[in-house]
Structure 1
Amino acid sequence: MKDIENNSDIQLLVDEFYKKVNEDELLSPIFNEIAQVNWKDHLPKMYKFWSKLLLGENEYQGSPFDKHIQLPIGENHFNRWIQLFLETLDAHFAGSKATEARLKAQSIANIFNFKMKTIQASGYIR
């Protein structure tokens, strides 16, 4: 298997991952029914997000956590998200960038989960 080397690789990773999300009985309703994600807009943002994290490109602008605050998600959702992401990553890539993607995805899931727990425990919702 090859490593993540360019934007085409990022696009493959993102597209294959979100195919799994859209077929998942836990995550699909969050993305499609509750958040009502516009996939035509969301996927290019995710390409830019992961290209920034893994390839050092600077096209992504945004604060990804803010979009999650209002969603009814918890640890089980983050666990499933990371499971699907890592399955997708491992099915297509191996190497130092793939390892970096693994570590960054796990960190994102852990940070988002911690922040959501903190917000939910405080009763603060924007």
Structure 2
Amino acid sequence: MKDITSRADVETLVNKFYDKVIKDDVIGFFFTDVAKIELNKHLPKMYNFWESILLGNPVYEGNPMRVHFPINEVVALEERHFNRWLQIWEETVHENFEGQNTETAIARALNIARIMHHKMMNARS
């Protein structure tokens, strides 16, 4: 297996992740029923987000935290949800890639989940 080194790799990873996550029994409903994401609009944003993080190309514009607060108001984003998101992400990453950027993808996702969980929990307090 190879490392994540290109936009095409990022797109492969994100596509495979979303193939799994939207069908997941624990968190899939956030994507399909709560946020009702349109994959054709959502995926390019995720490609840009992860390309910015993993490849250092500043192509992402937006505030990922801001878009999750309305979801959290409808259904609380709980620690178990973030843990499941991380589990699926890590599985998908390791099934398809290996190397420095691969490990960075997992480490950064862990940090993102921790920060997001903290902010979502405080927003409900």
- TM-score using structure 2 length: 0.94
Provide the aligned length of Structure 1 versus Structure 2: 121
Root-mean-square deviation (CA, aligned residues, Å) is 0.8
AA paired with 1:61?
E
What residue is the counterpart of 1:95 in the other structure? 99
Partner of 1:59: 59
Structure 1: segments with no counterpart, 5+ residues: 122-126
**Residue identity (%):** 39
Number of the residue aligned with 2:24: 24
Counterpart amino acid of residue 9 in structure 1: D
Match of 1:111 among 105, 112, 115: 115
Q: CA deviation at 1:26?
A: 1.7
Q: How far apart in 2 are the matches of 1:32 and 1:23?
A: 9
Partner of residue 124, structure 1:
none
Give ranges in structure 2 of 5+ residues lacking alignment: none
After TM superposition, the runs of 4+ consecutive aligned structure 1 residues lying more than 3 A away are none
Counterpart code for 1:17? F
**TM-score, normalization by structure 1:** 0.93
Structure-1 separation of matches of 2:122 and 2:104: 27
Question: Which runs of structure 2 are paired with 1:35-50 in the superposition (5 Å)?
Answer: 35-50=35-50
The one-letter amino acid paired with 1:78 is F
The whole-number CA distance in structure 2 between the counterparts of 1:22 and 1:116 is 21
